[in-house]
Structure 1
């Protein structure tokens, strides 16, 4: 594990923006958090950035350097060779990167969650809470200009400032793609700990302040492709009306997707050992959909329906919150004997809907 509670950090970030549901109501801003745990989480994510820079490895194509709106050829700032077993060895060239970044170039790391475990767990937590496919890009610059002009993105975004200050101008009109920002647009300098929510298709301009600055952008699409699938189905049958589906229907449909978080319970499955400190979390990327019928509990998760005794309802609800619980914490909060909780955890590990670590 990583030493910081990624799920708690993600929940606090979304709560600061107005709730754990996908941020709505236009552009939203969260001021720097005062609590020590959240600051420690920001530092853990920043450490993830430095770790990714130190060993880009086989994911070297996740890195790009943008200067004056154009990508700089990788041969200038990256050294790569193929070693034994056709393994790609990659290192960055500090001298060139330093001068380019100081000139105003931006070093972009795409899909940072694929390069560091801390960022991966944080991204997975945001996906679970937002019910959205998500990815994390990192932007590093030190100049006063911007490598990108006014633009908009085709997805919603959360921006978390980790180091230095960055100047953001965001159109006050949600959905505005105009090249010129409207009067009265959001105009703020983000400092470490601040978080900004930018809806999709909203024009914005980003520029440096003359100091080294690092921020993360979490791109996300609420309810993954479920809304698009619904629209496509309506078009297929020739229906012109495409009402927005009910949230409960969307949640049930999302639970049918096979998407799974990273992690494995192989140790617990093979040895049968689950100790008080074993950390347990739900395996699916998105929350399960749970229904009750008489004395039966039906849990839909990762495209499967799992039927359980209704006595397990509270324990399943605790796990379905999404964060990791130790076995000791789960047993203490459950209304079942420890032996029944242990049996549920063992069953979940064997059938791959629970992840047991440690």
Structure 2
């Protein structure tokens, strides 16, 4: 995985934001500040555990998205004093030959507006940068949620949105500069005023904050250039609401669906991660540079029989030899593995492992890139 292991990074953040036996959003409003390096740490240890590396990689994706021509104009918003600035002032868009959309920002106006305190919002940043996409997918996989990533850039010391709440859960990841967050201690209150004793904190780069849905908060700059990501997500992709709505329509009552039922329903959804396996699927080639990961957006369900496995993923069922159980479990954790790493960690002989990977690529439950 280029840049950093997004899955391991997301796992570290989610574990730090959770409590024993829980993950966000069940753990409520939580703040994670990465520990400072110890004097005894070697340079290699400091680099391996420093939040700077992933933050810098994600920040590079932000700057790349700003410079990328052709991105949808609707992915960008400029908000000043609570109102959206007309895009014609700070963006140029035209349709060229072959109906190709050409979009470019107007730096002079944009820079001036941000310096005055306006906030530039980039919606669905995961569609514009691979590293952000990998982090978004890792969060989805571990939280059984549908997720998306918005980016906020400002250089003022005011709030563009005042006190408000969102109808989705969110993880806030500070990438550059500092930003002042005030978050109501009454989760789900949708209040217009923050309660006494609410979280009041200035986020530094590498800091992560969990804000459950319907929780009032106020965000303001600190007078310096600041960039943060908001990873919005919906646990179990609204399956709970769908089940309860169906019960109401039928006039029946039943216990709320448990996590096992919800996880199985998600495995039946066709949702797929971004990525392709064309080369490996057609030629069977798998090399040292190949990155292999599970293709479904949500974890599969694996059932073990006497001599076989039944794997349910993206709404399909695969019957596999039970001897593949350990390797299927390894692959379905959600992270990306290089071919050498997979060989080292799997209990299968290399020829059998190669056959499994090729079968997975051809049947689209494994993504093999590179």
**Residue 262 of structure 1: aligned partner:** 274
- Bigger drift between 119-128 and 267-276 goes to 267-276
Equivalent runs, 1:1-358 vs 2, <5 Å: 2-18=2-18, 21-34=23-36, 35-37=46-48, 38-239=51-252, 241=253, 243-358=255-370
Gaps of 5+ in 1: none
Q: Deviation of residue 229 (structure 1)? A: 1.9
Alpha-carbon distance in 1 for matches of 2:257, 2:204: 38
Which residue pairs with 2:43 in the alignment?
none
Instruction: Tell me the TM-score normalised to structure 2 length.
Output: 0.93
* Structure 1 residue 36: Cα displacement: 2.6
SS of match in other structure, 1:136: strand
Does the residue aligned with 1:124 lie in a helix, a strand or coil? helix
1:129 aligns to what SS in structure 2?
helix
Shift of 1:56: 4.7
Is the partner of 1:159 in helix, strand or coil?
Answer: strand
Moved more, 158-167 or 332-341: 332-341
Q: CA deviation at 1:25?
A: 2.7
Q: CA deviation at 1:242?
A: 5.3
Taking the aligned partners of 1:204 and 1:144, their CA distance within structure 2 comes to 16
TM-superposed CA distance for 1:176, in Å, is 1.1
Work out whether residues 170 and 205 of structure 1, in 8 Å CA contact, stay in contact via their aligned partners in 2: yes
Q: How many residues align?
A: 357
Query: 1: distance between equivalents of 2:62 and 2:317?
Result: 39
Q: Counterparts of 1:202 and 1:23 in 2: how far apart (Å)? A: 11
Contact 2:282/2:362, CA 8 A, preserved across alignment: no
Deviations 1:119-152 (A, max 9, x none): 1111111111111000000000011111101000
TM-superposed CA distance for 1:23, in Å, is 3.5
Runs of 4+ residues deviating >4 angstroms? none
Asked if 1 retains the 8 angstrom alpha-carbon contact of 2:244 and 2:256, the reply is no
Deviation at 1:57, TM superposition (A): 1.5
SS where residue 217 of structure 1 aligns? strand
Is the 1:255–1:302 contact (alpha carbons within 8 Å) kept by the matching residues of 2?
yes
Within 2, Cα distance between the matches of 1:123 and 1:103?
A: 31
**Structure 2 Cα separation of the partners of residues 242 and 219 of structure 1:** 30
Q: Secondary structure at the match of 1:347?
A: helix
